[in-house]
Structure 1
Amino acid sequence: MEFTVYILYSKSADKYYVGYTSMGIDDRLRRHLSNHKGFTGRIKDWELFYFEKFPEKSEAIKREKEIKSWKSKARIQLLTKQ
């Protein structure tokens, strides 16, 4: 099974969301855009900003935590410039 660490961006909220999934990224994005309780359910313009694939769940969780620990929009934005 493959795991994906992904970053979503909302222009209207000027926010990033970092997560991981074993689902297809398109399916996961649809769920974020659906009506549900929680942070991402309130915002309706999420777009996929960045993603990385991992063969192991533990690697994906480690990378997700690393990115979340940055707490920096500027550093997240640098990911697409690599």
Structure 2
Amino acid sequence: MPKRAYHNYWVYIVNNKPRGVLYTGFTGGIDDRMEKHKDGIGSYFASKYRLKRLVYFEEYQYVEDAIKREKQIKNWRRQWKINLIEESNPNWDDLWKNLDSESSSEQQTKPE
């Protein structure tokens, strides 16, 4: 299998409602990971608290950077995480809906 020149890694935060329970995670495939969260099989903690709303994410090229950032955010106080989310997503919208529709429209417009 040939090596890819560019990889995508994601650090993300999901929750169940605005200012509700927060889960910070890391993945090499945000599409698959969010589908698992939506189906309730993302992780034990996330499924226990029904954490299905993507409220924050960051994209990285290098896995080491993404892992370092995930650990950093996980060690933060709860209020710092809330502040991080509210800087870019003040209404606590489910960003997955936007990402999902963007990826669907990109696939539809690509020539075959």
TM-score scaled by structure 2? 0.61
Q: Say which one has the larger Rg.
A: 2
Corresponding residue for residue 23 of structure 2: 17
Residue 56 of structure 2 is aligned with which of 50, 58, 77?
Answer: 50
Equivalent pairs counted in the alignment come to 80
TM-score scaled by structure 1? 0.81
Higher strand content, 1 or 2: 1
The one-letter code of the counterpart of 1:32 is H
**In structure 2, do the counterparts of structure 1 residues 21 and 69 end up closer, same or farther at CA, with 3 Å as the change threshold?**
same
Moved over 6 A (4+): none
CA RMSD of aligned residues (A): 2.3
Question: Percent same amino acid at aligned positions?
Answer: 34
> Structure 1: 5+ residue runs without aligned partners?
none
Corresponding residue for residue 28 of structure 1: 33
Measure how far apart 1:11 and its partner are: 1.9
The 2-side partners of 1:35 and 1:68 are apart by 21
Q: Aligned pair 1:66/2:72, yes or no?
A: yes
Bigger RCO (CA 8 Å, 6+ sep): 1
Measure how far apart 1:68 and its partner are: 0.4
